[in-house]
Each structure stands twice: as structure tokens, then as C-alpha cells.
Amino acid sequence: MDDFLVRGTLAEVDPDVAELIRHEHARQLDKLIMIASESYVPAAVREAEGSVFQNIYAEGYPHADLHGLAEEQILDYASQLAFYRRNGDRRYYKGVEYCNLIEALAQRRAAEVFCPPGMSPEQIFVNVQALSGAVANTAIYEALVQPGDTVMTLDLLHGGHLSHGSPVNVTGHRQRIVHYRVNEETELLDYEEIYELAQREKPKMIIAGYTSYPWAPDFHKFRAIADSVGAYLLADIAHTAGMAAAGVYPNPVGIAHVTSFTTHKTMMGPRGAVIITTDPELAKRIDRAVFPGMQGGPHMNKIAGMAVMFKLAKTPQFKALQQQIAKNAVALSDGLKANGLRVVHGGTNTHMVLLDCKSIAQHNGVPLMGNVASRILDLMGIVCNRNTIPGDKDAGRPSALRFGTPWVTQRGLKEADMREIADVIALVLKTAKPHTIPTKKSVTYSARVDFDALMEGVARINALVAKAGRDFELPREGYPFVWYATNGHRAADRGRIEVCGAQAAAFLGVVLGADVGDLSDGAEVTVLGRNRAPLCAATLTRIHDGYALDVPADQAPRVTQWLRALSDGYVIFDDANVDVHIPGPVVVK
Ligand code: DSN
């Protein structure tokens, strides 16, 4: 039959996209991902997300009669379909009989996971349609407060979120935002200060829950403060929902008026968000604010993924994982402290650790800053993000790093491994010599580190990566998994290193200390090391897109790494002139 259905696997239909996905997958498995807001979503969840539920429009909500049903009742197809045929449903589109069941299943499982002692899942109202945490929070503002009302949230620079009323976010535009801050000395939430601020400012809503504050808030204290001024309490547990589900972090459901969370962080599910309340009237307002207030059709494939995620969240393995995530974060924090580094807010009882980079290294009065530190760790194989901390004045110039332990814990790493990660971070960042680079308007902060320390860091992180679990093996050939990897050098008399790209001649001009334009093929040259000391003898040959350096085979791996590191720009070439410009980038093969 002639049709226009596109059959075939991704590799057959679009090998380029398939290849790009393999590269991304390799990156995720060949580095240690320590982004606190990320996790490795199980294949079963991704399978549900890639399912034919993707094809469906289902504006509206499941029939109200599905609320409060147990799983077996929701999945009693004969009864549910008979009900649907006779009564229809609340949605605008037909063809949603299975959408209703998958959404009701996700809601029921969420209600069971977050049901506090003394309540039953029927008393929990769950919206699973918000497409992201920011959308969920914006809908909650719509449902709970009026334009011009005061909303009280933690300052973004101290650990709050964009959707907690940042001036650059829509949530900062319609309400009057008042920020509480951490105590200057302890760097901890100070409930007396928060109480006093609430008395003065009379907020209509208070938000507790954070993106870069590593301690669990006391939701009971927050509720008491909210009650004292007649405010709603919103618990935003976007980061910590998985830990709350597992009892490793306080569950605010039943304490806060409304709880929101994203489903792709410690929950390890699809990218999306959930809003929970125990108040049926608020539930109606929230549902209306999400749809039709903020969105049209829900992403039913993600809701299918959420149903799987909530099933996993009920397992003992999930609980054990969340417990280990918390233990690993404490071990990382203790390890950094043991190396003399300053852990911001004094430690952690969540999945997250903040490291003050300013305290690690200074050079000529220039401090190490978060952005360059995160770039250096990425080169080494640890992926994290720059982050503001108390004392920072500008969200664009953060002085800290934020680490999270969900992903590395999923891959089986434990406390001793966290100590090793802390030791390697300290080893490398302590060698940093920060410097500034002038820009049109001011300067950017950069830094260079010791090459040998960086390579030792690369080797030690590679060892942890080799130990860490992978969900499947990827073909190794052709993937530049580790940027400084030099495998492929076989025993030979000479090792050939190719330096290619538009900047190759200028790069070699500095690295060889000679103008390559003046050299003929076969010229004897010297690759310069730190402080321009001779590192290795080589012969130079022009090739079609650059130059080849033939060096003794046993020295080729190290020279390759050195040239790559110089091209990347974060290793010290000249101690007397740390910020010496080395042209690049070049491709070193
Ligand atoms: N951007 C997320 C985070 O990294 O914390 C929050 O939305």
C-alpha cells in the first residue's frame, strides 16, 4: 500500500542526528556529570517519552471521576472505556480515552508517593501538565496572588530561582517581590529574620525551596510564618523532590499550601513539572492557571514518562539511591573541606555542594572565579556549573561552583569516590593562577593551571569514569570521548602529531618559538614546554591543512596532550606572564 508513513530507524532515516546523539551519549557517560539539576533518566522512562502518546492533543483534564481511584481501578480498561463511551470527558478532543488513563495513573502514583502520614492519596490533588518548573511556578502565582501583591522569596544570589521573582523573569514583573537572605555570618536561613521581614512586608505568598541553597528548609517554621501574616506558602522542591519522595528530605505536602517540583532532577523523570495541593479549591485554581492559563495541550508522552518515574520512585532501590545521593554530597563537602577549600553555607544535607572559588586561588590580586573554574573542571572530566553565592554582586559574575551528586550516585559511585573527586578538584584548582582579560567594557576573569596537575586530574577522573556504571556500551572508535585521550598511538619509531586549522601557523610560532613560514619541510624544531624550556625535539612537515610534527613515539602522547592543553588555553605556559596570548584554537590529531 502507498502511504506516507516514514518507517526506518533513526540511524537509517537521519544518520547525522543519530551520530550526534551518540556523541552526546558518550559525553554523558565518559565524564562525571555533577550538575545538581540533572540526572540520568532511565531508559524505561525515555521509552515512554518516545511513545505514540507524543501524537495526541488532549487540552483539558481527565474526567473528575478518575480522581481518587486506585491504580487497579484506573487500569480496569473494560469499565473505564464503558464509562468514557457513555459519559465522554472534559477534554476538547476526542480520542483521549487512554490519555485520561495515563494522566490519572501519573496523578495517582504521584499522590501515593507524596502522601504524608495521616492523609490518603484521595486527599492529594496533582497537576502533571506544567511543561517546566518555571511554568508551574508562574501558574501558581496566577492562581494564588494578584498583580501588585507582595511575594517573599530567597534572593537569587543567595540560592533562589529565577521564577522566585527575579526582575528578569515574568514572576518579577507583576507582583512586588521582597527577598529574604541568608544570615551574613552563618550563611544559613535565619527564621527570626524571615519572620520579622514577613511582619514588615506582609506578603501574600512566601516561597521556600531553592536551587542553590544546600540545606533543607524547615517547612513547619515557614508555614507558621506564612500563617502569621495570612500568606500562602509555596514549597518549591524542584531540586529535591526525589529526596522528599524517598524520605531523605522533608516532604512539604500537607504543610505548604502548594508544592511544586520538576520531574527531571532528583526525580529522574521527563522534563516537566508537578504541582500538588491538598486544598480542592486551590487545586481548581491551579488547574485553570496551568490550562488554559499558561498552556494549551499537555505533552502526553511526558506524562507517560512521569507515570513510569513515579512507579520507580516507590521502589526500595529509589530510596536507597536518594539516601546515597545525600551521603555522597556530605562526603564531597567533607572532602573539599579536608583539602582546605571553603564550602559555602557550611556544608549540605541535600544533593548539592557549593564551593567558593575565590578562596582557592588568587594571583596578583585576581581571584579564581566560577566560570573559569567550571571550564577547567570540564576539561578534566567533571561537569558542574558556576553559581552565585552570598557576597556576589552580579549574577553574571559568580564566584562559586555548584556540584550535585545525583548522576554520579546513579552510576554507583560512593563516599570514597567523592573524596577522590574532592581531592582531584583541590589538586587542580589550587595550582590556578587567575588573570584578567580586557574586554570592550571591562575585563573577564580567567585562569591557568599546572599542566601536570591537570593531566593527573584527567587520569584520576578517567579511572572513576571507568569504574562508574554505564547503561550500555557505545562503540569507542571515532568518538573523542576524553579531550586529552591519546589512545591510538601505536608503537613506532616516530609519533606523528598533526596541528591543523587556520591558527596552526600562529600557534606553532609561539609553541615552537620559531616562525614556521621560515622553515622548510623536514626542519628540526623544538616543542617548548613550561617557561619555554625544551620539551621535545621534532621535525616539521607541511600537510594539507596544517603541519605535522614527528616526535619520538614514546613522547608523542604527552606532547599531544600539551599541545591540546595549550590550544584550549588553561595551562600555564609562562609563569612570568601567565596571560601570554597563545593563538588558537588548533586541532591536534
Ligand atoms: N536551572 C535549574 C538549575 O540548574 O537549578 C533550575 O531550574
Question: What CA–CA distance (Å, rounded) separates 375 from 368?
Answer: 12
How far, in Å, from the CA of 193 to the mean position of ligand 1? 26
Q: How far is the CA of 388 from the centre of ligand 1 (A)?
A: 13
Does residue 567 line the site of ligand 1, with CB under 6 A?
Answer: no
248 Cα to the center of ligand 1, angstroms:
20
Average pLDDT, integer, range 341-353: 98
Strand partners, 443: 438
pLDDT at 481 over 60: no
Taking 80 as the threshold, does the pLDDT of residue 133 lie above it?
A: yes
Domain with CATH 3.30.70.1400 in the chain: 496-588
Q: Indicate the DSSP class of residue 172.
A: G
Q: Which of 265, 271, 388 best tests ligand 1's pocket when mutated (most atoms within 8 Å of CB)?
A: 265
**How far away, in angstroms, is 160 Cα from ligand 1 center?**
10
Residue 74: predicted pLDDT: 98
Mean pLDDT within 53-63: 96
Q: Mind listing the pLDDT tens digit for each residue in 509-566?
A: 999 999 998 888 999 999 999 999 999 999 999 998 999 999 999 999 999 999 999 9
Ligand 1 centroid – CA 377 distance (Å): 19
- CATH assignment, 496-588: 3.30.70.1400
Q: What pLDDT, on a 0 to 100 scale, did the predictor assign at position 477? A: 56
| Res. 183 pLDDT band, cuts 50 70 90 | very high
Residue 59, pLDDT above cutoff 80: yes
Name the residue with the closest Cα to ligand 1, atom 1: 37
Kindly report each contact of residues 92-96 with a partner whose C-beta sits within 8 Å and lies 24 or more positions away, as own/partner. 92/59, 92/60, 93/56, 93/57, 93/58, 93/59, 93/60, 95/56, 96/56, 96/58, 96/60
Residue among 35, 37, 213 whose CB has most ligand 1 atoms within 8 A, to mutate: 37
**Is any atom of ligand 1 closer than 6 Å to the C-beta of 406?**
no
Q: Mean pLDDT throughout 91-100? A: 94
Query: What confidence score (pLDDT) does residue 88 get?
Result: 86
User: Is there an atom of ligand 1 within 6 Å of 240 CB?
Assistant: no
Ligand 1 centroid vs 466 CA: distance in angstroms? 28
- Distance of CA 350 from the midpoint of ligand 1 (Å): 15
Strand partners, 276: 126, 259
What is this structure's pTM?
A: 0.95
One-character DSSP codes across 540-558: EEEETTEEEEEEEGGGHHH
* Closest residue by CA, ligand 1 atom 2: 37
Q: Cβ(37) to ligand 1 under 6 A?
A: yes
List, for residues 194-211, the tens digit of each pLDDT value: 999 999 999 999 999 999
pLDDT score at 560: 94
How confident is the model at residue 490, as a pLDDT? 54
Phi/psi at 278 (5° precision): -105, 5
Residues in the chain: 589
Q: Are the C-beta atoms of 403 and 352 separated by less than 8 Å?
A: yes
Q: Kindly tell me if the per-residue pLDDT of 176 is higher than 90.
A: yes
Identify whether the C-beta of residue 341 lies closer than 8 Å to the C-beta of residue 310. Answer: no
Amino acid (one-letter) located at 150: T
Higher pLDDT, 481 or 280: 280
Q: Is the pLDDT of residue 437 over 70?
A: yes
The architecture in CATH of the region 53-312 reads 3-Layer(aba) Sandwich (3.40)
Position with higher pLDDT, 78 vs 470: 78
The answer to whether residue 311 scores a pLDDT higher than 80 is yes
- Tell me which residues are annotated as active site: 57, 59, 236, 262, 265, 271
Task: Output the pLDDT for position 533.
Answer: 98
Q: Which long-range contacts (CB under 8 A, 24 or more apart) does 387-394 make?
A: 387/212, 387/354, 388/156, 388/157, 388/158, 388/212, 389/157, 389/158, 389/212, 389/344, 389/354, 389/356, 390/157, 390/158, 390/181, 390/182, 390/184, 390/187, 390/344, 392/157, 393/157
Domain with CATH 3.90.1150.10 in the chain: 317-467
Q: Residue 411: CB partners within 8 Å, gap ≥ 6?
A: 40, 468, 469, 470
First and final C-alpha spacing in the chain? 50
Q: How far apart are CA 440 and CA 356, in angstroms?
A: 28
Mean residue pLDDT of the chain comes to 95
Nearest ligand 1 atom, CA 132: 7
The answer to whether the CB of 307 falls within 8 A of the CB of 109 is yes
> Helices in 437-537 by DSSP H: which ranges?
451-467, 504-511
Sign for the pseudo-dihedral over CA of 239, 141, 232, 191: positive
Lowest mean pLDDT among 134-138, 260-264, 472-476: 472-476
Q: Which atom of ligand 1 is nearest to the CA of 133?
A: 7
Q: Where in the chain is CATH 3.40.640.10?
A: 53-312
C-alpha dihedral (421, 468, 264, 95), degrees to nearest 10: 170
- Ligand 1 atom, smallest distance to 134 CA: 7
Average pLDDT over residues 242-254: 98
Report pLDDT for 471.
Answer: 83
User: How many angstroms separate the CA atoms of 379 and 485, rounded?
Assistant: 11
Give 513's DSSP letter.
T
* Distance (Å) of CA 361 to CA 340, 507, 568: 11, 28, 20
pLDDT at 492 over 90: no
The three three-digit cell numbers of residue 135, written as one number: 511554568
Query: For residue 485, is pLDDT > 80?
Result: no
CB neighbours of 78 closer than 8 A, spacing ≥ 6?
none
Give yes or no for residue 7 having a pLDDT over 70.
Answer: yes
Q: Which H/E stretch holds residue 362?
A: strand 362-363
pLDDT value of position 494: 75
| Count of CB atoms situated within 10 Å of the CB of 376 | 25
Is the shortest distance between the CB of 211 and ligand 1 below 6 Å? yes
Ligand 1 atom closest to the Cα of residue 38 is 4
Q: Where are the alpha helices (DSSP H) in 35-132?
A: 43-49, 71-74, 77-87, 97-113
Looking from the CA of 31 toward its CB, the CA atoms found within 13 Å total 22
* pLDDT given at position 479: 52
pLDDT: is 90 or 438 the higher one?
438
- Give yes or no for residue 491 having a pLDDT over 90: no
Q: Which listed CATH number (3.40.1280.10, 3.50.50.60, 3.40.50.450, 3.90.1150.10) goes with 317-467? A: 3.90.1150.10
Look at residue 486 and tell me whether its pLDDT is greater than 80.
Answer: no
Place of cell 558542574: 384
Nearest protein CA to atom 3 of ligand 1, as residue = 37
Of the residues 157, 161, 387, which should be mutated to test ligand 1's pocket, given the most ligand atoms within 8 Å of the CB? 161
Q: Give me 4's grid cell.
A: 506516507
* pLDDT band (50, 70, 90) for residue 402: very high
CA of 211 relative to ligand 1 center, distance in Å = 6
* Atom 4 of ligand 1, nearest CA residue: 37
Q: What pLDDT, on the 0 to 100 scale, is given for residue 441?
A: 87
Alpha helices of 145-211 — where are they, by DSSP H?
A: 191-201
